[in-house]
A and B are shown apart, each in its own frame.
Chain A
Amino acid sequence: MNLQQELIMLKQQLQTERVARRRAEQLLEESRKLMMEGGCLAGRPAAVANGQEDFPVAAKPEAGNMSGGGVDSGKEAFDERLFLEEVLNETPAEIIVVDNQYRYLFVNPMAVGDPAVREWMIGKTNEEYCRYTGSSQEKARTRREVFEKVLQTRQLVEWEEKLENARGEIKYILRKVYPAIDELGEIRWVIVYGVNITERRIFEEKVRLSEKRYRDLFNYSQALICTHDMEGRLLTVNPEIARTLGYLQEEMIGRKIHEFIPEDQQESFAMEYLSAIRNTNNIVNGVFCILDKQGQRIYLLYKNYRVEEPGLEPYVIGFAQNVTDRIQVERELRFAKQITEDGARAKETFLAHMSHEIRTPMSGILGIAGLLAKTRLDDQQRNYLQLIQESANNLLVIVNDILDLEKIIAGKLNLERIGFRIVNKIATTIQSFIYKAEEKELGLIFRNFIPADLVVNGDPYRLSQVLNNILSNALKFTETGHIDISTGVAEQDEETVTIEITVRDTGIGISEDRIKRVFDPFVQADATISRKYGGTGLGLTICKHMIEMQNGEFFVQSEEGKGSAFTVRIPYHLSIEEMENETNQENQENQEINYKSLGHKRVLVAEDVELNQYLAKHILESWDFEVVIANNGKEALDQVKKSSFDCILMDVQMPEMDGIEATQHIRQLADTTLASIPIIALTANALKGDSEKYISAGMNDYLAKPFDEVKLFKVISRNLRSRDPLLRTTPEKPKNGSSTNEKTGIDMQQIEEGKLYDLTMVQSVSGGDEGFIKKMVALFIETVPQNVQELNKGLEAENWDQVGKMAHKLKSTVDSMGIQSIRQDIRTVESNAKHKESLDQIPQLVKRIETVINRCIGQLQAEIG
Chain B
Amino acid sequence: MELKNGPIIFVVEDNLFYQHLVAKELESIGAELYFYTNGEACLRELHRSPSVIVMDYNLDGELNGLDTLQKVRSISPDVYAILFSSQKGLNTKDIFVKYGSFDFLEKNNLSFRILKQMVICAIEEPGLI
Q: Which residues of A contact B (CB under 8 A)?
A: 264-265, 268, 271-272, 276, 281, 283, 286-287, 289, 299, 301, 323, 326-327, 330, 334-335, 338, 342, 689, 692, 696, 761-762, 765-767, 769, 772, 775-776, 779-780, 783-784, 805, 808-809, 811-813, 815-816, 818
Do the beta carbons of B78 and A775 come within 8 Å of each other?
A: no
Inter-chain contact A780/B78, CB cutoff 8 Å: no
Q: What residues on B are CB-neighbors of A808 within 8 Å?
A: 58, 86
Q: Specify which of A264, A283, A689, A696 is in contact with B1 (CB 8 Å cutoff).
A: A283
Q: Assess the A769–B24 pair: CB atoms within 8 A.
A: yes
Q: Is the CB of B18 within 8 A of A816?
A: yes
- The binding surface of chain A is classed by DSSP as helix
Whether the Cβ atoms of B25 and A289 lie closer than 8 Å is no
Cross-chain contact A775 with B77 (CB below 8 angstroms):
no
A334→B78 contact, CB < 8 A: no
CA distance A772 to B1 in the complex (A): 34
Which residue of A has the minimal Cβ distance to B58? A808
Complex alpha-carbon distance, A689 and B113, angstroms: 13
- Asked whether, in the complex, the Cβ of B14 is within 8 Å of the Cβ of A268, the reply is no
Q: Determine if B102 is an interface residue (Cβ-Cβ < 8 Å).
A: yes
- A765-B112 contact, Cβ under 8 Å, with A272-B47, A813-B17: yes
- B110 part of interface (Cβ distance < 8 Å): yes
Confirm or deny: B74 has a beta carbon within 8 angstroms of a beta carbon on chain A.
Answer: yes
Additional A-B contacts beyond A272-B75, A287-B75, A772-B24 (20; CB < 8 A): A265-B74, A268-B43, A281-B1, A287-B76, A287-B78, A326-B128, A338-B96, A342-B93, A692-B108, A692-B109, A696-B108, A765-B24, A779-B17, A783-B16, A809-B14, A809-B58, A812-B15, A813-B15, A816-B21, A818-B109
* Distance of B120 from chain A, by nearest CB (Å): 14
Nearest A residue to B57 via CB reads A808
A-B CB proximity, top 3 nearest:
A813-B17, A761-B109, A268-B75
Closest partner residue, chain B, to A297 (CB atom): B74
Q: Are A812 and B17 in contact (CB under 8 A)?
A: yes
- Chain A nearest CB: distance from B91 CB in Å? 10
The CA of A276 and the CA of B2, in the complex, are separated in Å by 13
B41 adjacent to chain A (CB < 8 Å): no
The answer to whether the Cβ of B29 comes within 8 Å of any Cβ in the partner chain is no
Contact B78 A776 (CB under 8 A): no
What residues of A have a CB within 8 angstroms of the CB of B78 in the complex? 287, 327, 330
B49: which A residues are within 8 A, CB to CB? 286
Q: With A286-B49, A816-B109 in contact, do A811 and B86 touch (Cβ < 8 Å)?
A: yes
Interface residues on B, range: 20 to 34
Minimum CB–CB distance from A648 to chain B (whole Å) comes to: 23
Q: How far is the CA of A498 from the CA of B15 in the complex (A)?
A: 44
Q: How distant is the Cα of A815 from the Cα of B111 in the complex, in angstroms?
A: 12
Given that A272-B47, A283-B1 are contacting pairs, would A815 and B108 also be in contact in the complex, using a CB cutoff of 8 Å? yes
Chain A residue numbers with a CB within 8 Å of B18 are 812-813, 816
Q: In the bound complex, what is the Cα–Cα distance between A689 and B46 (angstroms)?
A: 35
Among residues of B, the one whose C-beta sits closest to the C-beta of A411 is B117
B25, B74, B77, B112: the one contacting A264 at CB < 8 Å is: B74
CA distance A716 to B76 in the complex (A): 54
Q: Does the CB pair B21–A276 fall under 8 Å?
A: no
Within 8 Å CB of B128, what residues of A?
A: 301, 323, 326
CB 8 Å contact bits of B72-107 with A (1 = contact, 0 = none): 001111100000001000000100110000100001
User: CB-CB < 8 A to A805: which residues of B?
Assistant: 58
Interface pair A765/B25, CB less than 8 Å apart? yes
The reply to whether B20 and A689 form a contact with Cβ atoms under 8 Å apart is no
Closest partner residue, chain B, to A787 (CB atom): B15
Per a CB cutoff under 8 Å, which of A265, A769, A775 touches B75?
A: A265
A276 x B109 contact (CB < 8 A): no
Shortest distance between the CB of A693 and any CB in chain B (Å) = 9
Query: Which residues of A lie under 8 Å from residue B76 when comparing CB positions?
Result: 286-287
Please give, as numbers and ranges, the residues of chain A lying within 8 Å of B20 by CB-CB distance: 775-776, 779
The listed residue with most A CB atoms (<10 A of its CB), out of B14, B24, B49, B110, is B24
Q: Which residue from chain B places its CB closest to the CB of A331 in the assembled complex?
A: B77
Q: Are B21 and A762 in contact (CB under 8 A)?
A: yes
Judge whether B96 and A765 touch: CB under 8 Å: no
Measured between beta carbons, the chain A residues less than 8 angstroms from B43 are 268
Over the window 10-46 of chain B, the binary record of Cβ atoms lying under 8 Å from chain A Cβ atoms (1 yes, 0 no) is 0000111110110011000000000000000001101
Q: With A775-B20, A780-B17 known to touch, is A692 a contact of B110 (CB < 8 Å)?
A: yes
State A49–B63 Cα separation when bound (angstroms).
98
Q: Is the CB of B110 within 8 A of A816?
A: no
A776-B17 contact in complex given A268-B75, A287-B77, C-beta closer than 8 Å: yes
Can you report 26 residue pairs joining A to B where beta carbons are below 8 Å apart? Answer: A265-B75, A268-B74, A268-B75, A271-B44, A272-B46, A272-B75, A286-B47, A286-B49, A287-B77, A287-B78, A327-B78, A330-B78, A334-B96, A689-B110, A761-B109, A765-B21, A766-B24, A767-B24, A779-B16, A808-B86, A809-B14, A815-B109, A816-B18, A816-B21, A816-B109, A818-B109
B87 to chain A, nearest CB (A): 8
Q: CB-CB < 8 A to A765: which residues of B?
A: 21, 24-25, 112
* Chain A residues with CB under 8 A of B47: 272, 276, 286
Q: List, in ascending order, chain A residues with CB within 8 A of B93's CB.
A: 338, 342
In the complex, chain A residues whose CB is within 8 Å of the CB of B14: 809
Knowing A696-B108, A769-B24, the reply to whether A327 touches B46 (Cβ < 8 A) is: no
How many Å lie between the Cα of A783 and that of B20 in the bound state? 12
B71 to chain A, nearest CB (A): 8
Please report the C-alpha to C-alpha distance between residue A281 and residue B2 in the assembled complex, in whole angstroms: 10
Docked complex Cα distance between A850 and B78 (Å): 44
Give the distance to chain B from A829, nearest Cβ to Cβ, in Å. 14
- State A775–B24 Cα separation when bound (angstroms): 11
How far, in whole Å, are A813 and B109 apart by their CA atoms in the complex? 10
The CA of A338 and the CA of B104, in the complex, are separated in Å by 11
The CB with the most chain A CB atoms within 10 A, among B17, B44, B102, B112, is that of: B17
Which residues in B have their C-beta under 8 angstroms from that of A815? 108-109
A776 to B20 CA separation, bound complex (whole angstroms) = 7
Set of chain B residues within 8 Å of A767, measured between Cβ atoms: 24
Using A766-B24, A813-B17 as known contacts, say yes or no to A334 and B1 having CB atoms under 8 A apart.
no
**Once bound together, how far apart are the Cα atoms of A228 and B110, in whole Å?**
52
* Chain B neighbourhood of A289, CB < 8 A: 74
